[in-house]
Amino acid sequence: MQGLAAVGTLVISVLVALRLIPDTPLNPSNPDPSAVASVIQGSVEEELARSVVQVQMMSGGEMVGWGSGTVISDDGLILTNAHVATPDDVELDDLVIAVTDTPDAPPEARYHAEVVAADAVLDLAIIRITESMGGGPYDGALEPIPIGDSDAVGIGDEIIILGYPSVGGDTITLTYGRVSGFTAN
């Protein structure tokens, strides 16, 4: 599973290595989705947002939670958290991949996925799109994020985080920050 941790670090490090900092800062006290849309549209963040999906956790045909995922390959592999793909507190019968068309609208369910690998200690998982919502094969429409070099990441490097945290509302969220530290893993 060390390879799984390395992939997670590499996906995050691409954001740092590319120094993806916006020309127009987002006011963190303004949660208005149109404010996020204005920063994301026509920018590097817009390109990155094409690689970020919402992973919907389904049980008994109902969505019981969701998390963020990052497309890492052309064949539909997605990096997410183990607590999303294989939660301890509920048995899932499906993982649905939802995609954002515009940053000020909720993502739309497009694909089904299955767990390929998960590590609860590292809280990382790889899932694979298995089919479209209509039952057809995966069409390859999602854009994988370029993978960076984790050795290029240092304390204080600027990062961009795009995702669907459960406290972030119904749309994609955008956060800026800096690398504050590392774990031994």
DSSP letter assigned to residue 61: T
pTM for this model (two decimals):
0.77
pLDDT at 106: 92
Q: Locate 53 and state its tokens.
A: 């999906």
What are the 10-residue block averages of pLDDT along the chain, 185 residues in total? 44 39 38 46 75 96 95 97 96 96 91 97 96 94 90 92 83 91 79
Instruction: Determine the Cα–Cα distance for residues 21 and 169; give it in Å rounded to an integer.
Output: 23
pLDDT at 185: 63
Q: How far is CA 84 from CA 69, 89, 139, in A?
A: 9, 11, 24
